[in-house]
Structure 1
Amino acid sequence: MKGVIQCGGKGMRLRPYTMVLPKPLMPVGSKPVLELLLKWLRRNGVQEVYITTGYLGHLIRTVCGDGRQWGMSIRYTEELEPLGTVGALRLLREELDETFLVINGDVLTDLNLDAFSGFHRRQETLLTIATSRRAIQTDFGIIEETDNRVTRFQEKPTLTHLVSMGVYCMEPGILDYIPDGVPFGFDNLMSCMLAAREPVSIFQHGGLWLDIGRVDDFQKVQEMAWDEQWPTFETRAVA
């Protein structure tokens, strides 16, 4: 399959580091996140990749080039104005003519792409979202009430939710939901599809997933790299 890596964001959650480097080039050990992501795609059989760029995109093109060093073909789009998390896919509407992957440029995971794409094809939907369960610590005491009387109180509870991993399997028909030349986020796409009663599938992944755009996950992956667990992760990625 063809893969699209979204690298147009400004990485606001990792400021001030991302004032000099785009988020996909943030280092994990001695390598940028994007290089690890590209190698994971190559090990999973993806050879044709498009990288959407915007903020500091020239640095991404300089580091990755045409992809020959990883046995891949890499081409780029450039957003003159921010197009949101999925708006840049319209720039590739001529190239995305078969089932394709879309991956955020700040994701590291051991997701098995054969299993993911096979599941997607069996669902026969335009979109399948890779998901993971995450525990989220709330900062407030949570109150439940009936008729203005407290029925339950929880002090800063930890809540578990199924969340998007930023990895998607899509069909070309999904591009009909994305407008040309205007900012359009994944939340907008979901709203349009649900309003049209277009079915959307989810694939639940129980393995490793890290969102490098989050400070906690970025620090965690550094610890994995520096205590030599990272080679173990790379081995798991091809399982």
Structure 2
Amino acid sequence: MHAVILAGGKGVRLLPYTTTLPKPLVPIGDRYSILEIVLHQLARHGFRTATLAIGHLGHLIRAYVGDGDRWGMRIDYAVEESPLGTIGPLLTMRDRLPDDFLVMNGDVLTDLDFAGLLAEHNAARAALTIATYPRQVNIDFGVLKTEDGHVIEFAEKPMLDYRVSMGVYAVSRDVLARYEPGLPLGFDELIIDQLADGRPPREYRFDGYWLDIGRPDDYDRANAEFAGLRPALLEGVDT
């Protein structure tokens, strides 16, 4: 099993924490970086190889991770000379990827079963499988549905339930064949193209722990919760 970890972003939303460190290396719980936790998890789930897509302050990530030996993995790198979006980095390494592989953002804290996601993707012979997570939003207004100048439905301060992408997905290499390497390509574009082709992505539903560390309040929450979450996030790792 192979994983691609997207770690090339500038982490602008997480300033000032990312002024001198790339986002995947910011510390969680004063001991582990986000990336270190992710690599521990991948190794525990049976992943033996990984590629880190690096860009902004990538030399620090390379110096920190090295060849991956400390996690029992073999890790190589793909360098973004300019921003390529979420999927664009995969195109530059397409020829050295296996038929099916895991892709994940380098700033995600979760106890998702990464191997289970890839196994279900393989069993379904899917082109793209997206890990999804439930979210709820409280609307602070009375919501109207209108038609032909009339109100036909009303809900007072409803709660909306929906599912979001976790930033973790399984990809078939074949789905990348149509795109030109070196050009930016976003995850949203890939999904839209799959839907237009009549090949809707599969869903891998997950309801455990997930936190996308994109903003300072997310980072503060991760540190506040880490002591209680550590056994689940770092199962098998000595204190």
The normalised TM-score by structure 2 is: 0.90
In structure 2, give the amino acid aligned to 1:45. Answer: G
Distance, in Å, in 2 between the alignment partners of 1:160 and 1:237 is 35
- What is the DSSP-based 3-state SS (H/G/I as helix, E as strand, rest coil) of the residue aligned with 2:87? helix
* Residues 97-116 of structure 1: pairs in structure 2 closer than 5 A: 97-116=98-117
The structural deviation recorded for 1:207 is: 1.0
Distance, in Å, in 1 between the alignment partners of 2:220 and 2:137 is 17
Q: Deviations over 1:127-157 (max 9, x none)?
A: 11111111234576643223334442544x4
Q: Which runs of 5+ in 1 are unaligned?
A: none
Given the superposition, is the C-alpha separation of residues 233 and 124 from structure 1 closer, same or farther in structure 2, using an over 3 Å criterion?
same
In structure 1, give the amino acid aligned to 2:17. Answer: Y
Distance, in Å, in 2 between the alignment partners of 1:140 and 1:216 is 25
In the other structure, the counterpart of 2:219 is 218
Does residue 152 (structure 1) correspond to residue 164 (structure 2)? The answer is no
The structural deviation recorded for 1:193 is: 1.4
In the other structure, the counterpart of 2:4 is 4
Q: Deviations over 1:21-73 (max 9, x none)?
A: 11111110121100000100000011101000111111111111111111111
In structure 2, give the amino acid aligned to 1:7. Answer: A
Given the superposition, is the C-alpha separation of residues 24 and 137 from structure 1 closer, same or farther in structure 2, using an over 3 Å criterion?
farther
Given the superposition, is the C-alpha separation of residues 35 and 169 from structure 1 closer, same or farther in structure 2, using an over 3 Å criterion?
same
* Residues 61-210 of structure 1: pairs in structure 2 closer than 5 A: 61-138=62-139, 142-150=143-151, 151-155=153-157, 157-210=158-211
2:8–2:55: 8 Å Cα contact kept in structure 1? yes
Distance, in Å, in 1 between the alignment partners of 2:102 and 2:133 is 17
In the other structure, the counterpart of 1:231 is 230
Q: Percent identity?
A: 43
Q: Deviations over 1:142-184 (max 9, x none)?
A: 43223334442544x4422111111111111021143211111
- What is the DSSP-based 3-state SS (H/G/I as helix, E as strand, rest coil) of the residue aligned with 1:161? strand
1:111–1:237: 8 Å Cα contact kept in structure 2? no
The normalised TM-score by structure 1 is: 0.90
The structural deviation recorded for 1:122 is: 2.2
Q: How many residue pairs get matched?
A: 235
